[in-house]
A and B are shown apart, each in its own frame.
Chain A
């Protein structure tokens, strides 16, 4: 049975962008203020799940051709290799460093290696969450 979901689809088209923006905001505001890779990743994943809900799995797969298992794997690889990087540079494992740069549009910006680590966390969360929800939906038939 196909339910009439015009309202859901219309709204989710707009809402997905709000959620994605909010997710990116949470992700970037991490490490010093509330937020971070885990929460940002959850919010980003919820946007993707909303897409799956409002349209259907095939349509989303066509426009977003990602194997989310590999997204999760890349995330873990990214997060662990930032830890590993500190071994290469001869400082204690998981050390971080930051510096201030003058970027063209943003002005004086703090760039830190934590962001790379957090990006890994975010990718892992997105990958794992979407994989779990997709496998549950496949089981239900």
Chain B
């Protein structure tokens, strides 16, 4: 009995509902939601450590054994992501306390953040493909509300696109599920994997796998990211940070899970397609990151580049490169949240969003300026910060398997990331200050503290790479050996 692993899903839902009743008491909402996230982070850390000692943990809902019931499966990969997501959400909430405003807080902001977290955690933990769809929907519904909340004109314009794209993608997801269920007759991921292995991944199953690839690419922003820069640049800072850190990662997680556990038999087709898509994503994302002058658009295109980079690890598909991708996903959740918070705070402080309209922020806000430099270095992959380990492992994996084009693209993209962020840094942080002492808005502690916390996280993730390497190795081992996961799920009752 492992009821513990359902807690990251069920606690946010129950607390979120309780917060609905506490609508007028904003202070209570803040305290409770933050405590909830800390609690979930603690629980996921505990589960992560138990996975190391006891192996993969599973929970059969209501005692229905797989493949008949729905189940949650906690392996190292899922738990690492749940842990990071909870920590990042907690930190973004601290930023929201001082930046989101009374109007949002009274309009069920905190409950919807918690529902979003529930959907994200559920997607990571579920071991059933249809349940994954449901958790996706929970997450997306919460994100629809969060993106439109506030109701400014650009928000509504972008959210219509966002909602339409995602509804369409969900429909494709449902169709793909129906095809898969019609072909293999099960929805339990481990069971699907067994059946696909038994019957061989014929042309029909490969076609279905491509359909899943399209669906998850739409959600992850892999190649099909045309909706992403617009919709991630309009919501309030804390929400944008949450989106940038969490939402695409769920799509990435789904891609990793399906293409390492289920559709791994035809790497020549599916993984080549993923490689091509990742390459194009990197190129187009780099062009976007350099082309624009709006800070929010630049950081949104940086999300796209990261997606391309992480997917290279899957396209290459060796255990090393997958480990690199896992490192990089964790790093990217932290660093992207930090980058979005910095960009949003920059706009709050200056009231402008174009990089050539701001200048000299470091004279007014030195800590803020250096934090931006820190995240720039981290995203570029400069040791000892957190981006370094992921990049080097992905690079090592690509060399092992001889994918030199992807390798070149990956490292050129790092330079472009560095360039695009240094451009922001030089234009806005360095130079003559434009804000006179009288006009200077005081930096609120609630805004700089979460940024510093994320900065500490990225440093310690880089320095502590040794500590988490055992978790990541285990996660990569499970991903590259589907039998480990299948045995844990389909093997006898624990």
Chain A CB within 8 A of B273 CB: no
Within 8 A of A (CB), among B13-50: 13-14, 17-18, 20-21
Which of B58-66, B199-207, B304-312, B314-322 interfaces with chain A?
Answer: B58-66
Bound CA–CA A93/B13 (angstroms): 15
Bound CA–CA A80/B61 (angstroms): 13
Contact assessment for B1 and A80 in the assembled complex, using a CB-CB cutoff below 8 Å: no
Q: Given the complex, which residues of B lie within 8 Å of A51, measured CB to CB?
A: none
Contact assessment for A92 and B17 in the assembled complex, using a CB-CB cutoff below 8 Å: no
Bound CA–CA A81/B10 (angstroms): 9
Bound CA–CA A83/B6 (angstroms): 10
Proximity bits, A72-108, B CB within 8 Å = 1, else 0: 0100110011011011001111111000000000000
Chain A CB within 8 A of B3 CB: yes
Chain B CB within 8 A of A22 CB: no
Bound CA–CA A73/B17 (angstroms): 6
Contact assessment for A93 and B21 in the assembled complex, using a CB-CB cutoff below 8 Å: no
Bound CA–CA A86/B64 (angstroms): 14
Q: Is the interface of A mostly helix, strand, loop or mixed?
A: helix
Chain B CB within 8 A of A69 CB: yes
Q: Given the complex, which residues of A lie within 8 Å of B20, measured CB to CB?
A: 69-70, 73
B118 nearest CB across to chain A (Å): 10
Contact assessment for A84 and B62 in the assembled complex, using a CB-CB cutoff below 8 Å: no
Which listed residue (B10, B14, B17, B18) contacts A93, Cβ 8 A?
Answer: B10
Which listed residue (A76, A81, A95) contacts B63, Cβ 8 A?
Answer: A95
Proximity bits, B61-98, A CB within 8 Å = 1, else 0: 11100000000000000000000000000000000000
Q: Given the complex, which residues of A lie within 8 Å of B60, measured CB to CB?
A: 92
Proximity bits, B218-254, A CB within 8 Å = 1, else 0: 0000000000000000000000000000000000000
A73 nearest CB across to chain B (Å): 4
Q: Given the complex, which residues of B lie within 8 Å of A92, measured CB to CB?
A: 1, 3, 59-63
How many of B's residues come within 8 Å of A, CB to CB? 15
B274 nearest CB across to chain A (Å): 34
Q: Given the complex, which residues of A lie within 8 Å of B10, measured CB to CB?
A: 80, 83-84, 93
Contact assessment for A95 and B21 in the assembled complex, using a CB-CB cutoff below 8 Å: no
B57 nearest CB across to chain A (Å): 12
Bound CA–CA A80/B20 (angstroms): 15
Contact assessment for A76 and B17 in the assembled complex, using a CB-CB cutoff below 8 Å: yes
B111 nearest CB neighbor, chain A only: A73
Bound CA–CA A77/B10 (angstroms): 11
Q: Given the complex, which residues of B lie within 8 Å of A81, measured CB to CB?
A: 14
Q: Given the complex, which residues of A lie within 8 Å of B18, measured CB to CB?
A: 77
Contact assessment for B14 and A84 in the assembled complex, using a CB-CB cutoff below 8 Å: yes
A95 nearest CB neighbor, chain B only: B62
Contact assessment for A87 and B3 in the assembled complex, using a CB-CB cutoff below 8 Å: yes
Q: Given the complex, which residues of B lie within 8 Å of A69, measured CB to CB?
A: 20
Which listed residue (A70, A73, A77, A93) contacts B6, Cβ 8 A?
Answer: A93
Bound CA–CA A91/B21 (angstroms): 29
Contact assessment for B21 and A73 in the assembled complex, using a CB-CB cutoff below 8 Å: yes
Contact assessment for A94 and B14 in the assembled complex, using a CB-CB cutoff below 8 Å: no
Q: Given the complex, which residues of A lie within 8 Å of B13, measured CB to CB?
A: 76, 80
Instruction: Provide a sorted-by-A list of 15 A–B residue pairs whose CB atoms are within 8 angstroms.
Output: A73-B20, A76-B13, A80-B13, A80-B14, A80-B17, A90-B3, A91-B1, A92-B3, A92-B59, A92-B63, A93-B6, A93-B10, A93-B59, A94-B61, A94-B62
